[in-house]
Amino acid sequence: MLTRSFARFQQAYRQAPWQHLRQWWGLFALGGAVMVALAVLHLALVSRTAIVGREMENLRAEIANLRSENVRLEAQYAEITAYEVMHARALALGYRKVPPEQQIYVYVDGYSPPQTAPPAAAPPFAASAGLPAEYTQSLVDWVLGYLQGVER
């Protein structure tokens, strides 16, 4: 009973002329609103991406500036701690090298000096060390070798 009444109401509602016109306008407006929403979303995303892109560019520029400053400071530090400068400063401050006869060695129980890792194994000695055959074989040796090669 209730379903039937609802169906009648629905039919009457749809068939009203003014209602029919409004439905078309509503659909059109809905489509427009969706498009606007999509456009706004697109613009928002693009603007955010652009801002991030600009920040990346700024950060890259900042990295380049910092790197430039870093290499300048590193070179400057090396310059003021160079051997020649430090040596001159040490002498000016009154430091002198201790002559060997004044050096004192203290035995420290358990201390072992740093060890040097042994180098990789040597290549075979005889393989490349001997004189080339051209320098050692006689003419007879060469002819015999040549004939043996021909026989093979």
Partner 1 sequence: MNVSSRRLLLATALFGAVGLLVPLRILYLQFGPQAERIRAQEIEGQYVVVQPPRGEIYDRNGQLLAGNQTVYEVGVDLTQMDDPETLALTLSVLLEVDHDALLSQLQNPPAGLRYLVVKDFVGAEVQQQLAALQEELAQQGAGASAEGETPPSLRGLSFRQHFFRVYPQHQLAANVLGFVNYEYRGVLGVEEQYDVFLGGRPQRVWVPRSPLEADQVEMPTENAALELTLDAALQGEVEDILDAALVRYGAQSGVIVVMDPRNGEIWAMASAPRFDPNRFWEYDDYFANAAEYNRAVSMVYEPGSVFKILTMAAGLDADVIQPDTTFLDTGIYYIGQYAVYNWNRAAWGEQTMTGCLAHSLNVCLAWVADEMGVETFYRYMRSFGLGRRTGIDLANEAAGRLKLPGDSDWYPLELGTNAFGQGVAVTPVQMLAAASAVATDGRMVAPHVVRAVIGDNGRYEVPAQTIGAPISAETAETLSWMLSEAISTETSLAIVPGYRIAGKTGTAEIPGEEGTNTSFIGWGPVDDPQFMVYVWLERPTASIWASEVAAPVFRDVAQVVIDFLNLPPDEIRLATER
Residues of this chain that interact with partner 1 (CB under 8 A) are: 18, 22, 25-26, 28-29, 31-33, 35-36, 39, 42, 46, 49-54, 56-57, 60, 67-68, 71-72, 74-79, 81-84, 87, 97, 100, 105, 107, 116-123, 125, 128-131, 134-136
User: Given the complex with partner 1, which of 34 and 144 has the nearer CB atom?
Assistant: 34
Burial call 17-41: b when 16+ CB within 10 Å, e when fewer:
eeeeeeeeeeeeeeeeeeeeeeeee
Question: Considering the complex, what minimum distance in angstroms separates the CB of residue 11 from partner 1?
Answer: 22
Residues 6+ apart with CB under 8 A from 79: 85
The minimum distance between CB 89 and partner 1, in angstroms, equals: 13
Question: Minimal distance in Å, beta carbon 15 to partner 1?
Answer: 18
* Secondary structure of residue 24 in the 3-state scheme: helix
Residue 130 half-sphere exposure toward CB, CA atoms < 13 A: 9
Q: How far is CA 45 from CA 21, 51, 57, in A?
A: 36, 10, 18
Shortest Å, Cβ 44 to partner 1? 13
Which residue, 44 or 82, has its beta carbon nearer to partner 1? 82
